Structure 1
Amino acid sequence: MAIEPTDFAGAVPVDGYGPGFFRVADKIHHGPVLVRQGGAQGWGGLEDRAALLALAGQVDVLFIGMGAEIARPPSDLVAELESLGVMVEAMASPTAARTYNVTLSEGRRVACALLPV
């Protein structure tokens, strides 16, 4: 599914997604992806906590896309991120990608970690 483009003032939006992939800044990423202003990178999924913890001080909100359906991320991961000042919002990956794009377009310091649909 494609996501309508908007002016992100140099930020990196999620352009689209499909079974097993995400398109970010016109580049295809297979598997889980971590997206923040300045770029996207492959992500090791919920077991890759170091990549998420490294966002502390860089973002205020992290949208975690849990795949095709909404699910809860590990509560200890959420607690650790929030103790570092990163608010966590979990939702289905399509919703997380759209919410990230909208919030990013508002100029907020956000990131999204997306599990494939």
Structure 2
Amino acid sequence: MRLNEITYNNAVPVDGYGPGFFRIGGEVFEGRVLTGPSGTANWGGYDDRTALLDLADDIDVLLIGTGADLTHIPQNLRSALEDANIGVEVMNSPAACRTYNVLLSEGRRIALALLPV
């Protein structure tokens, strides 16, 4: 078996999550979170589309975690992201965290917007 050390570029992986929080890069964030190549910060939710659109030059895909259950995001948000040439993948937050870590370890240009579980 061959083992490779995983290195992350500017972004850091999700270390864990629980009721109302996410641990990203060793730091705990309460509530909604946005993380990617420009760092990690609290996020205003679906109405905070500016924070997501500002990522357009740095990412190809945005993963959106919708909390404990998979739900649709507002169509106007999806349209705005697609118009900015940002691919959008929507899933529940636990699946989004796992997918983000895998894609991040592959060196992909991604970001992650999360609603708490």
TM-score (norm 1): 0.91
Contact 2:8 2:104 in 1 (8 A): no
Identify unmatched segments of 5+ residues in structure 1: 1-5
Contact 2:37 2:58 in 1 (8 A): no
Secondary structure of the structure 1 residue equivalent to 2:46: helix
Secondary structure of the structure 2 residue equivalent to 1:80: helix
Q: Partner of 1:8 in structure 2?
A: 7
Deviations 1:55-114 (A, max 9, x none): 111100000000000011011111111111100000000000110110111111000000
Is 1:33 aligned with 2:24?
no
Q: Distance in 1 between matches of 2:108 and 2:64?
A: 16
Secondary structure of the structure 2 residue equivalent to 1:50: helix
Q: CA deviation at 1:8?
A: 3.1
Secondary structure of the structure 1 residue equivalent to 2:94: helix
TM-score (norm 2): 0.91
Is 1:99 aligned with 2:99?
yes
Residue correspondence of structure 1 range 1-117 to structure 2 within 5 A:
7-10=6-9, 11-117=11-117
Q: Distance in 1 between matches of 2:43 and 2:25?
A: 16
Q: Distance in 2 between matches of 1:90 and 1:9?
A: 23
Secondary structure of the structure 1 residue equivalent to 2:52: helix
Give the fraction of aligned pairs with identical amino acids, expressed as a percent: 54
Q: Partner of 1:3 in structure 2?
A: none
Which runs of structure 1 show a deviation greater than 6 angstroms over 4 or more consecutive aligned residues? none
